[in-house]
Structure 1
C-alpha cells in the first residue's frame, strides 16, 4: 500500500510541474521555490504545537488548492505560482514519508513515524 500511495504522490508532484509550465515563469523558478514551504518549520523554534500548526498550514494540499484556485479566479499569477509550489512540495514531501505533523513530535506524522 505504501508504494501505491507514493506512486499517487509522484503523479501529483508531476501534475504540479505540468501546471507550472502553463505559467509565464522561467523553469528555474520552480526549482528555486520548491523548498520554500519548509519555512513552516520555523514554528518549531517556539514549540512543537505551534511548529506542527505552521508546518501543516504550509503542507496541507487543501490550502495549496485554495491558493491556486484563488490565483486562477483573480488572474493573479503570483497566487497561481504559490498554489502550485505548495501542492508540489506537499506531494514531494509525502513521497519521502513526511506527512502532516501531530503536535507531540516532529517525527509523528499522519503517515506514521519517521
Structure 2
C-alpha cells in the first residue's frame, strides 16, 4: 500500500508540473520556487504549535488548489503560479513521506513519524547479548 500512496503523490507532482506548463513562466521559475514552501518551517522557531500551523498552511494541497483557482478566476497569474508551486511541493514532500505536522513536534506527521528507523528484527540481524 505504501508504494501505491507514493505513486499517487508522484502522479500529483506530475500533474502540477503539467499545469505549470500552461502558465506563462519560464521553467526555471518552477525550479527556483519549488522549495519555497519549506519556509513554513520558520514557524518552528516560535514553538511546535506555531511551526505545525505555518508548515501545514504552506503544505496544504486544498489551499494550494484554492489559490490556483482564485488566480484563474481573477486572472492573477502570480496566484496561479503560487498555487501550482504549493501543490507540487506538497505532493513531492508526501511522496518522500513528509506529511502534515502535528503540534507534538516536527517529526510527528499524519503519515507517521519521520526520521525513525523502522527495521524489523530480521533486517537488524542477529542480536548479541
What do the CA deviations read for 1:16-49 (whole angstroms, capped 9, x no partner)?
Answer: 0000010111111100000000111000001000
State the 4+ residue runs in structure 1 displaced beyond 6 angstroms: none
CA radius of gyration, larger in: 2
Larger helix proportion, structure 1 or 2?
A: 1
Matches within 5 A, 1:40-59: 40-59=40-59
TM-score (ref. length: structure 1) = 0.99
User: Partners in 2 of 1:89 and 1:64 — Cα distance?
Assistant: 10
TM-score (ref. length: structure 2) = 0.88
User: Partners in 2 of 1:41 and 1:24 — Cα distance?
Assistant: 29
Does residue 1:17 correspond to 2:30, yes or no? no
What do the CA deviations read for 1:74-109 (whole angstroms, capped 9, x no partner)?
Answer: 011000000000000000000100000000010000
User: Partners in 1 of 2:80 and 2:62 — Cα distance?
Assistant: 14
Aligned residue-pair number:
114
In the alignment, what sits opposite 1:26? 26
Per the alignment, in what secondary structure is the counterpart of residue 16 of structure 1?
helix
| Structure 1 segments unaligned to the other structure (5+ residues) | none
Q: CA RMSD in A?
A: 0.4
Matches within 5 A, 1:1-114: 1-114=1-114
